[in-house]
């Protein structure tokens, strides 16, 4: 995996040989972004199984449950993590009769399949979402919802990529995204690599740009979408959503179906991760605030569904009322519908 904590200063890759390494990488955000941590967790389980010396299938299954528990304790908000873990567990439970070695290969294949599926899903979201993008659009985005946050293409930035690939002239304003600067470090880096025009701004500049008519659309990813469409994403997204509505700018959420949590009705049920105070009192390790100052550091916030113009998924575009439109997409998915 590329070490996202080092970018853009160093482009370094690291390898994990066991599930503990994967869990630590997710926790410390060397790998981050909802779909990417789901894929990483799936490989974490496959690695855990590969390293197991269990003599029987039931012993292996018990070990997998422990490994799944360790991985699920890493980050609480992005539902893709739990979705991928559940899918790996289900693959095992559905094939309990297999021998140990067969189960190990099955898990490896399932992890590879989840990774490939993510790449395909992102491309499909790009196709659907690019319909919403017009030639000459200025697009504001927050955090990093790009190739880095997925296996290779991105969600919100996947839509930008697709539109750019179709020859539409798009320009992105990237919020720097304090405290961990995913916008400045990752989104700016990723877009520049692809020659997609990007301008970096600090988070507090977004409202001014909108009020001056310099933003046509806001495109963001998501960490968890409740069944009524309320959406958790990187802290600061809610602020953008309110500003976008005030300035009559459409805001689109781009996320795979695996980010929709049909087990919860509204955003109030989403657990919001709180992270170390040092992320706020320091920038790139350098202290910028009094050592003992009390800090509040929620990593995500929740946009009520009324602020969301549409949700782009690989199964199509949902518009309000979301309780109904998201369910329809789910039925389409369960029926194995195509693009
Ligand atoms: O804390 P992070 O960097 O993992 O948060 C990531 C985000 O909030 C992204 O916008 C979200 O996961 C969507 S990524 C395709």
Q: Over the stretch 228-256, which tens digit does the pLDDT of each residue have? A: 999 999 999 999 999 999 999 999 999 99
Same domain, 223 and 293: yes
Any domain includes 14: no
- Ligand 1 lining (C-beta closer than 6 Å): 32-35, 78, 143, 145, 149-150, 155, 182, 221-223, 233-234, 299
Q: Which atom of ligand 1 lies at the shortest distance from residue 154's CA?
A: 15
Q: How far is the CA of 334 from the centre of ligand 1 (A)?
A: 26
Place of tokens 């990593």: 299
For residue 1, is it within any domain?
no
- pLDDT tens sequence across 259-304: 999 999 999 999 999 999 999 999 988 999 998 999 999 999 999 9
Query: For residue 247, what are the contacts with CB-CB under 8 A and spacing of at least 6?
Result: 210, 211, 215
Asked if the structure places residue 7 within a domain, the reply is no
Domain containing residue 198: CATH number = 3.40.50.10470
Same domain (yes/no): 110, 185: no
Grade residue 336 by pLDDT with cuts at 50, 70 and 90: confident
The domain in which residue 328 lies consists of 126-334
Atom 2 (ligand 1): residue with closest C-alpha?
33
| Inside any domain, residue 339 | no
Report how far apart the first and last C-alpha atoms of the chain are (Å, whole number): 30
- The domain boundary residue, chosen from 83, 100, 123: 123
Regarding whether 307 and 163 lie in a shared domain, the answer is yes
Please compute the mean of the pLDDT values over residues 164-182 and round it to a whole number.
98
Question: Residue 4's pLDDT band (boundaries 50, 70, 90)?
Answer: very high
| Chain segment 70-110, per-residue pLDDT in tens | 999 999 999 999 999 999 999 999 999 999 999 999 999 99
**pLDDT tens column, 10-44:** 999 999 999 999 999 999 999 999 999 999 999 99
**Are 277 and 186 members of one domain?**
yes
CA–centroid distance, residue 99 to ligand 1 (Å): 38
Q: Could you confirm whether 223 is annotated as catalytic? A: yes
CA of 265 to the centre of ligand 1 (A): 21
Do 113 and 190 fall within a single domain? no
- Answer yes or no: pTM beyond 0.85: yes
**Is the pLDDT at 219 greater than 50, yes or no?**
yes
Catalytic residue among 137, 223, 230, 261: 223
Torsion, Cα 339 32 309 197, to 10 degrees, reads -90
Mean pLDDT value across residues 117-133:
98
Q: Is residue 10 part of a domain?
A: no
Flag whether 13 is in a domain: no
| 101 in the same domain as 44 | yes
CB of 113 closer than 8 Å to CB of 46: no
Mean pLDDT of the chain, nearest integer: 97
pLDDT for residue 337 is more than 60: no
For residue 271, how far is its CA from the centre of ligand 1 (angstroms)? 15
Q: 4 lies in a domain?
A: no
Instruction: Flag whether 104 is in a domain.
Output: yes
Residues 260 and 117 reside in one and the same domain: no
Do residue 143 and residue 196 come from a single domain? yes
């Amino acid at each position: 995996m590329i070490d996202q904590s080092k970018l853009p200063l160093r482009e370094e890759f690291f390898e994990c040989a066991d599930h503990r390494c994967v869990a630590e990488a997710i926790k410390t955000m060397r790998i981050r972004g909802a779909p990417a941590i789901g894929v990483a967790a799936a490989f974490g389980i496959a690695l855990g199984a590969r390293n197991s010396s269990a003599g029987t299938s039931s012993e292996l299954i018990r070990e997998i449950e422990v490994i799944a528990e360790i991985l699920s304790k890493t980050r609480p908000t992005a539902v893709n993590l739990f979705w991928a873990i559940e899918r790996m567990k289900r693959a095992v439970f559905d094939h309990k009769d297999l021998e140990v070695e067969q189960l190990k290969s099955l898990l490896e294949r399932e992890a590879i399949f989840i990774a490939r599926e993510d790449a395909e899903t992102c491309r499909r979201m790009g196709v659907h979402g690019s319909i919403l993008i017009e030639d000459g659009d200025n697009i504001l985005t927050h955090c990093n919802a790009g190739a880095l946050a997925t296996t290779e293409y991105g969600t919100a930035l996947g839509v930008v990529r697709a539109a750019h690939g179709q020859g539409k002239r798009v320009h992105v304003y990237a919020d720097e995204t304090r405290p961990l600067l995913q916008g400045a470090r990752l989104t700016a880096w990723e877009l520049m690599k692809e020659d997609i025009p990007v301008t970096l701004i600090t988070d507090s500049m977004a409202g001014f740009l909108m009020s001056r008519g310099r933003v046509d659309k806001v495109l963001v990813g998501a960490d968890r979408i409740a069944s009524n469409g309320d959406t958790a994403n990187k802290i600061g997204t809610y602020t953008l959503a309110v500003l976008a509505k005030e300035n009559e700018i459409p805001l689109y959420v781009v996320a795979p179906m695996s980010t929709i949590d049909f087990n919860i009705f509204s955003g109030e049920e989403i657990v919001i991760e709180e992270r170390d105070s040092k992320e706020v009192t320091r920038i790139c390790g350098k202290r910028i605030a009094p050592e003992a100052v009390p800090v509040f550091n929620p990593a995500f916030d929740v946009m009520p569904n009324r602020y969301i113009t549409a949700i782009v998924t690989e199964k199509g575009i949902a518009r309000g009322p979301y309780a109904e439109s998201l369910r329809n997409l789910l039925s389409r998915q369960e029926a194995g519908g195509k693009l």
